[in-house]
Amino acid sequence: MTVSRVVNGETAVRASTREKVDRAIALLGYSPNKAARSLASASQLQVGLLYANPSAAYLSAMLLGVLERARQSDTHVVVVECGVGDDAVTALRGMLNGGIDGVLLTPPLTDYRPVLELLDDSGLQAVTLGAQHVERNISTVSIDDYRAALEMTRHLLALGHTRIAFIIGSNDQLASRLRLSGFREAMNEAGVPVDESLVVQGDFSYRSGLKAADTLLRLESPPTAVFASNDDMAAAVVATAHRFHIEVPEALTVVGYDDTLLATTIWPELTTIRQPIADMSHAAIELLETNIRNDRAGEPVKARHLTRAFELIERESTAPPPK
């Protein structure tokens, strides 16, 4: 019983006793039997949520969906923050050793190969939020990032803009590449050459948006519209435009992506792509629960790629280019 209390993280154990048990666990190479623990509490699943996202607005929307679904289904969610790199692998190993039943991965960890490979090796059920990883046996919930960026760029072109800047998200994320591809395709189909000086790198953070906007707005021939790959970077563009005394949208159109709370808490409010983040995370947990239960029942589990609808939300940050 004492060993059980230590393994399960209960507090009613003396520190000296806990140290002895921990030493014995390390010496024996013991890890909890996840199957036995599942039988002991078959009604409740324990799911790990691993995140390393720089956008607080994205995280808030994502957690709303996860926790609402978990409350409905009596699923226990272990939320762990980590960095990208060795810290993420260490955090995931800790989850696996803790006897969780499945893992939900959020961007940018959805594209970090050491984490994906560790999940493959573990045989544990996993679902990712974000772009589809069709080359791996991992279920995903996403929107069509390529199509969404295509439609937003078409919208800017329809307003009359041709000098359109694009701020890329993190370069190692598939969603960033799909959004950039959608932007380029819309420009190409309209016969408008892409000025490569207007395509700048960000990393989905507000600070990277500030840096990108400063570069773009100092150009000898600046853009008349900026398409940022998320709302955080778009908000940073608006702030930089204010600093440069550039009126939005009269002199500069700015659009974002995600439709997080930030999109409607700045002035002017952002035109953006509404990604139903809470609904996507709700669906991801539900899919993960289903896969875990099917796996427990000995049924084959195939990767499923669910796509949710996006919407272009038009607000006050867009207008035709100045004459």
Per-residue pLDDT tens, the chain, 323 aa: give them. 577 666 665 556 677 777 777 777 777 666 655 444 444 445 589 999 998 876 778 888 888 889 888 888 889 999 998 988 899 999 999 999 988 999 999 888 888 889 989 988 888 899 999 867 665 678 999 999 999 999 999 999 999 999 999 999 998 899 999 999 999 999 999 999 999 999 999 999 999 999 999 999 999 999 999 999 999 999 999 999 999 999 999 999 999 999 999 999 999 999 999 999 999 999 999 999 999 999 988 998 988 999 999 999 999 999 999 98
Phi, psi (deg, nearest 5) at residue 62: -65, -45
Q: Check residue 306 and give its pLDDT.
A: 93
Please check whether residues 151 and 269 belong to one and the same domain: yes
Please check whether residues 271 and 292 belong to one and the same domain: no
- Note the residue count of the chain: 323
Distance CA 201, CA 222 (A): 16
Please check whether residues 234 and 301 belong to one and the same domain: no
Instruction: Name residue, tokens 């808490």.
Output: 265
Q: Check residue 26 and give its pLDDT.
A: 73
Range of the domain at 158: 145-275
Q: Check residue 13 and give its pLDDT.
A: 67
Phi, psi (deg, nearest 5) at residue 186: -65, -40
Q: What is the DSSP string of 145-188?
A: HHHHHHHHHHHHHHTT--SEEEEE--TT-HHHHHHHHHHHHHHH
Distance CA 108, CA 118 (A): 16
Q: Check residue 41 and give its pLDDT.
A: 45
Q: What is the pTM of this model?
A: 0.82
| Cβ contact 225:196 at 8 Å | no
Please check whether residues 108 and 205 belong to one and the same domain: no
Last residue of a domain, one of 275, 294, 318: 275
Please check whether residues 51 and 110 belong to one and the same domain: yes
**Domain-embedded: residue 320:** no
Burial of 10 (0-12, 13-18, 19+ CB in 10 A): exposed
Residues 6+ apart with CB under 8 A from 20: none
CATH number, residue 177: 3.40.50.2300
Please check whether residues 168 and 101 belong to one and the same domain: no
**Domain-embedded: residue 318:** no
Query: What would the 3-class secondary structure string for 185-222 be?
Result: HHHHHCCCCCCHHHEEECCCCHHHHHHHHHHHHCCCCC
| Cβ contact 176:170 at 8 Å | yes
Please check whether residues 158 and 267 belong to one and the same domain: yes
Distance CA 108, CA 56 (A): 14
The total of structural domains in the chain comes to: 3
Please check whether residues 50 and 61 belong to one and the same domain: yes
Distance CA 116, CA 114 (A): 6
| Cβ contact 233:205 at 8 Å | yes
